[in-house]
Structure 1
């Protein structure tokens, strides 16, 4: 059986709309992972690497979380919407791509990290301060407002 690490409760993710943690991937790099609600019959929570596939743009923003609209995770930079259950995108600049997933398991109302290639480091964002994440929101030519 694969090792598992308790991350948070399903209730916490549902109440806040998303939940962010930092892990180390199999290459030794720190990655941010976002948990989002999924209304699929097989799952209630899914985990995605916190990056749009179109550009290196965070989906989860401090103070905002992830914008989930009609079962889709919205990229704050260009408005591409990724299905929160499958990670697939069928619109905007990210059309035809899929978010990178991280394996989690829900058991008795708790969410566990079960991905063999990811090691939990801490709750919240990584210490990485990319220029595109100055805290003022995404660099955008989009008309979207959240």
Structure 2
């Protein structure tokens, strides 16, 4: 079953859209959506060199010329294929999550995971806000 995630227009052109999925074992995993010239791709939100290193730390993944950049070591992953040709993660590929686009909407279609909430794991499903106020 496909789950609506967001509109393609809501994914930053230079950055990512972060959401959390639940895996079959009940564990949570973050996923990033990135825009491509002809669609979108979705990748689990960790560098292959160090799996505890998030590519999107909650403010969008750093990107340059179609590459997702690891903020710790600078390895660059092709946004379309997930493959890395440089740095400490060279020769590795990001873990893909299946999504599809229909009528400008992005759907999670991966049978291995289910949608948990928008944002990162630590966000716990709380509504996102652009406000920086705290009380």
Is the TM value for this pair above 0.5?
Answer: yes
* 2: CA distance, partners of 1:16 / 1:73: 9
TM-score, scaled to structure 1: 0.80
**Displacement over 2 Å in runs of 4+:** 14-17
Q: Secondary structure at the match of 1:127?
A: helix
Corresponding position of 2:100: 105
* 1: CA distance, partners of 2:27 / 2:89: 24
TM-score, scaled to structure 2: 0.86
Unaligned ranges ≥5, structure 2? 124-135
Corresponding position of 2:4: 6
The structure-2 alpha-carbon separation of the partners of 1:79 and 1:61, relative to structure 1 and needing over 3 Å to count, comes to same
Q: Secondary structure at the match of 1:89?
A: coil
Q: What whole-Å deviation, never above 9, does each CA across 1:30-74 have from its counterpart, x for those lacking one?
A: 0000000122xxx51000000000002000022x31111010000
| Count of residue correspondences | 122
1:88-127 paired onto structure 2 within 5 Å: 88-127=83-122
Unaligned ranges ≥5, structure 1? 129-146
1:27 shift after superposition: 2.5
> Comparing both structures, which one devotes a greater share of its residues to strand?
2
